[in-house]
Structure 1
Amino acid sequence: MVMRIFPRSIRARLTAIATAIAALVVFATSTFMLVTVPDNLRDVVRDRVEVSVRRIASDARAGELSTALQAPARVHFLEVVTPSGDVLASTTGRDVHWKLKAFRPAEPDKLYVKEAWAPHERNAGETHFLVMAMSVPTPNGLVAVYGASSLTDVDRAIRWFEIQTFVIAPLILASVMGITWLVVGSALRPVERIRSKLAEITGQDLSRRVPVPDTGDEITLLAATTNDTLDRLERSAETQRRFVADASHELRSPIAALRTQLEVANAIPEETDWSATGARALAAVDRLTGIIDELLMLARLDAGAVAPRRVVDMCRLAAEQVRRRGDARVAIVPDLCASAPVHGSPVQLDRILTNLLDNATRHAETRIDLEVAVEDDRWVVVTVTDDGEGIAPEDRERVFERFTRLDSAKAKDQSGSGLGLPLSREIALSHGGTLTIADHSPGARFVLVLPSYQGA
């Protein structure tokens, strides 16, 4: 079993990351403060004592030393001592017991610093002092100048700072952890509602939608996108259900007709014209084959399958269609350019022409115009125009819906499946083109536009 460093929950992961970052910041800040603050506080005391010692040393060097030294605030002790230990001058009222002989400045004009614990008359115990000493030559010989200041306030401040650091740091981390947990939980609450709603949606009922929060953030966009996806899924499922129902209905008719013919022929074989019965059965089988072929091609197009493609000359395909329809009910009048190459499936492109010409043949009165042209060296435009009753503007998109047949089409041909035009448009779209119905009177004009082949 693989060990996970982070928990699976996004809420827990973000809380852990935020806490880790906060811990790193607090640790770095605390370490910096613990390193710098004590030294800075001691430097303040040292500067104060150093100024006093150098002032007294300057007076002693000039022979202007007073026996009663005045110590500034927070400097507890000043004293001038000869090498033999005689006290020449000192502060008054601030008696501190020092073992000064153990701390003698050796070199003249060099400042020596030491921290020491010494008894103070005002304190029952010992006090922590910062002591500084300097030897200085005077008119009466070499003397040592001493100064001291208590570090009690500094030690107390450092101790409180350390206590607060080690107490407040865990509180900060606990606060960051708790706040992050609550904030992330609040932010992810809409996601949980979306998840629970999605879990309730099934393939049998795609009408339900997830709640869209009004926060206007990425979760709002996620919910809106999810609902849009559910809308598309619902439309697709409804289309599939309608497609299956329509396909079943279309297949049932020729199968029922074929079965009826065979049952009648089988019931009275001696009175059956087997030649006519076979012809009718073949016609029903042909219709079944055509419907099944169109359904299979639509299924492949819906699945995104790409048929083998090569360079196809639409002029040549159109000319072949005209040749095959030489004995058709309505004459086809071609207007073809020299060459109109496209890159596509020969079978599918020929199927478009077949469907368009079959549709025009059913509705035309006297003629069908077939035009193939190249526009702007970029597009191959195929136009099929009939002089029939035409298609109303409100029906020009509906005829491209699967199994849709207008009343005029049913009256002219009962054997149609309503798949030819939808299949033709799907083929055009799969080749990067379009198939539309343009304004024309009389009759209908179908316009197929495909990208022209530009070479390798």
Structure 2
Amino acid sequence: MLTRLFPRSIRARLTTIATLVAAIVLSTTSILTLATAPDNLEGVVQSRVELAVRRVASEARTGELPKVLQTPPRVQLLQVISDDGRLVAASPALTDGPQMKPFPVPEPETVYTTELNMSRKGTEIGVHYLVMGMRVNTPNGPVTVYGASSLTDVDRALRWIFLLVFLGTPLILALVAGTTWAVVAFALRPVERIRKEMAEITGQDLSRRVSVPDTGDEITYLAATTNHTLDRLERSAETQRRFVADASHELRSPISALRAQLEVANAYPEEADWPSTCMRALSSAERLTSIIDELLLLAKLDAGAVPERRVVDMCRLAEDQVFRRAGARVPIHLDQCGTAPVFGSPVQLDRLLTNLLDNATRHAATRIDLTVAREADRVVVTVTDDGDGIAPHDRERVFERFMRLPEARAKDKGGSGLGLPLSREIAIAHRGTLVVVEHSPGARLVCVLPVHERPERP
């Protein structure tokens, strides 16, 4: 329900929040002002009048009361009246000024306060006064001292306060809302431009980029990050298109060969050498299976799939590889190693070694050297052959999918060009690296993996 009432637009949302905050602040300030300002303003006037009344009362007690009373600043009227109503003393302003009407003061030595509207002689315009009275005993009998001060300035100030509170507050809120709306709209203008440019970018054309404002703020970082993301998407889309094209080409060859063999055998069943045909068909099927398995494993690695992992000793995997390849065309010489623990997938790490050794076997002339060594916090696996080697400009190209150099195609037409790319992806998935390093004669591939440190027992 709250989400339905709250606006969805960021501009409307920020405007609403700013207006609500301003309303809370202004309302609190207005309430405090209305609650304290009248009393404070009248309190100042009351203090002045009370001080003047007490001064005159002190003079009356000692019998030193003059006939004409001098008024202090901002106290306009002073008068002293006896109990029988006789005017004992008064300020000059009472001669032709407003008529101060006495009010009863029952208790002596106590200041009483009231507010009266008094008019000047000959006019009917009343003036609002604060009047205070105090009854005291004098040598000539009890008298009452009255003092008055105009509340015109106080009333004027209160009118302005009420005007500002009840008219100014809505105007300020409207100004805050309008300013916030305009400022947020101006701030979000680059975002709207980026949105429109992003909406025009399609999967068929990822070469376009959004404009980057030179303000140096978060919008600039957003636009730059968007362009970096588009760069990665374009590279990924291009890689995917190339991958699909290469995969189609590599799969078409064994399928075409398999189909041709079966069609010829089916067309001339009496003349067909069925055992030989079956062997060739099985060979093509095995090549298809190998390509499909490597493609599936690459797809899983690209998708970030995490297989079951445990501690794997790379030395034991290397020994198993050498044992399985005993009697192969090219012998494999394994340097003696102790333990090289790595935390990872046994299947994937074994596949990494298989691909590296298969690649070396295809290119080696007489010898393959396999080394597994633990160096500080890493495990280094080195595979070296004595073949033709890899040219410096091709040392990164061999890790591209379906990339087969002319020398490799001439030596082995059954390769898929996925072995080394798959091996590098496996190394990266295990937080490692796989590179071709300088070596002569032949080629040397070095895989570095983080060593697994067993936690110390307490």
* TM-score interval, normalised by the smaller of the two chains: over 0.9
- Residue in 1 aligned with 2:105? 104
1:329 aligned to 2:342? no
For the 8 Å contact 1:80–1:144, the answer to whether it is kept is yes
- Give the secondary-structure state (helix, strand or coil) at the position aligned to 2:368: strand
Letter in 1 for 2:157: A
For the 8 Å contact 1:105–1:134, the answer to whether it is kept is no
Letter in 1 for 2:396: E
Aligned mates of 2:123, 2:400 — CA distance in 1: 103
- Deviates further, 38-47 or 417-426: 38-47
Aligned mates of 1:3, 1:451 — CA distance in 2: 49
For the 8 Å contact 1:61–1:136, the answer to whether it is kept is yes
- Residue in 2 aligned with 1:406? 405
Q: Deviations over 1:366-395 (max 9, x none)?
A: 21111122222x322211101112112222
Q: How does 1:366-377 map to 2 (within 5 A)?
A: 366-376=366-376
For the 8 Å contact 1:105–1:144, the answer to whether it is kept is no
Deviation at 1:12, TM superposition (A): 0.8
Letter in 1 for 2:268: I
Aligned mates of 1:234, 1:8 — CA distance in 2: 32
Q: How many residues align?
A: 453
How many percent identity over aligned positions? 66
- Deviates further, 417-426 or 225-234: 225-234
Deviation at 1:73, TM superposition (A): 4.2
Letter in 2 for 1:410: R
- Residue in 1 aligned with 2:422? 423
1:340 aligned to 2:370? no
Letter in 2 for 1:396: R
For the 8 Å contact 1:105–1:111, the answer to whether it is kept is no
Q: Deviations over 1:227-267 (max 9, x none)?
A: 21121111111111111110000001111112222222333
For the 8 Å contact 2:71–2:78, the answer to whether it is kept is yes
- Residue in 2 aligned with 1:186? 186
- Residue in 1 aligned with 2:156? 156
For the 8 Å contact 1:53–1:146, the answer to whether it is kept is yes
Q: Deviations over 1:297-330 (max 9, x none)?
A: 1111111222233333322222222222222222
- Deviates further, 316-325 or 14-23: 316-325
For the 8 Å contact 1:257–1:284, the answer to whether it is kept is yes
Deviation at 1:50, TM superposition (A): 2.2
Q: Deviations over 1:202-222 (max 9, x none)?
A: 222222222222222222212
- Give the secondary-structure state (helix, strand or coil) at the position aligned to 2:270: helix
- Residue in 1 aligned with 2:84? 84
- Residue in 2 aligned with 1:307? 307
Deviation at 1:122, TM superposition (A): 5.6
- Deviates further, 241-250 or 32-41: 32-41
- Residue in 2 aligned with 1:356? 356
Question: Is the alpha carbon distance of 1:132 and 1:383 closer, same or farther for their aligned partners in structure 2, counting shifts above 3 Å?
Answer: same
Deviation at 1:15, TM superposition (A): 0.6
Aligned mates of 2:278, 2:13 — CA distance in 1: 75
Q: Deviations over 1:418-440 (max 9, x none)?
A: 00000111111222222112221
- Give the secondary-structure state (helix, strand or coil) at the position aligned to 1:336: coil
For the 8 Å contact 2:77–2:93, the answer to whether it is kept is no
Aligned mates of 1:373, 1:164 — CA distance in 2: 83
For the 8 Å contact 1:368–1:387, the answer to whether it is kept is yes
Aligned mates of 1:339, 1:77 — CA distance in 2: 109
Deviation at 1:280, TM superposition (A): 1.9
Letter in 2 for 1:104: V
Question: Is the alpha carbon distance of 1:395 and 1:189 closer, same or farther for their aligned partners in structure 2, counting shifts above 3 Å?
Answer: same
Q: How does 1:163-312 map to 2 (within 5 A)?
A: 163-312=163-312
> Structure 2: 5+ residue runs without aligned partners?
none
What TM-score comes out, normalization by structure 2 length? 0.93
- Give the secondary-structure state (helix, strand or coil) at the position aligned to 1:220: helix
- Give the secondary-structure state (helix, strand or coil) at the position aligned to 1:283: helix
Question: Is the alpha carbon distance of 1:112 and 1:343 closer, same or farther for their aligned partners in structure 2, counting shifts above 3 Å?
Answer: same
For the 8 Å contact 1:398–1:404, the answer to whether it is kept is yes
- Residue in 2 aligned with 1:448? 447
Deviation at 1:146, TM superposition (A): 1.0
- Residue in 1 aligned with 2:437? 438
Aligned mates of 1:28, 1:338 — CA distance in 2: 77
For the aligned residue pairs, the C-alpha RMSD in angstroms reads 2.0
1:393 aligned to 2:392? yes
For the 8 Å contact 2:76–2:93, the answer to whether it is kept is no
Aligned mates of 2:258, 2:307 — CA distance in 1: 33
Runs of 4 or more off by more than 6 Å in structure 1?
none
- Give the secondary-structure state (helix, strand or coil) at the position aligned to 1:319: helix
Deviation at 1:401, TM superposition (A): 0.9
For the 8 Å contact 1:105–1:112, the answer to whether it is kept is no
- Residue in 1 aligned with 2:126? 126
- Give the secondary-structure state (helix, strand or coil) at the position aligned to 1:63: coil
- Give the secondary-structure state (helix, strand or coil) at the position aligned to 2:335: strand
Deviation at 1:78, TM superposition (A): 1.1
Letter in 2 for 1:234: E
For the 8 Å contact 2:313–2:339, the answer to whether it is kept is yes
Aligned mates of 2:321, 2:68 — CA distance in 1: 129
Deviation at 1:105, TM superposition (A): 4.9
Deviation at 1:148, TM superposition (A): 1.0
> Structure 1: 5+ residue runs without aligned partners?
none
- Residue in 2 aligned with 1:24? 24
Aligned mates of 1:453, 1:48 — CA distance in 2: 88
Aligned mates of 1:338, 1:75 — CA distance in 2: 107
Deviation at 1:289, TM superposition (A): 1.3
Letter in 1 for 2:337: C
For the 8 Å contact 2:340–2:372, the answer to whether it is kept is yes
Letter in 2 for 1:280: R
Deviation at 1:135, TM superposition (A): 2.1
Deviation at 1:61, TM superposition (A): 2.2
- Give the secondary-structure state (helix, strand or coil) at the position aligned to 1:148: strand
- Residue in 1 aligned with 2:34? 34
Question: Is the alpha carbon distance of 1:50 and 1:390 closer, same or farther for their aligned partners in structure 2, counting shifts above 3 Å?
Answer: same
Aligned mates of 1:224, 1:13 — CA distance in 2: 26
Letter in 2 for 1:402: R
Letter in 2 for 1:106: E
For the 8 Å contact 1:105–1:133, the answer to whether it is kept is no
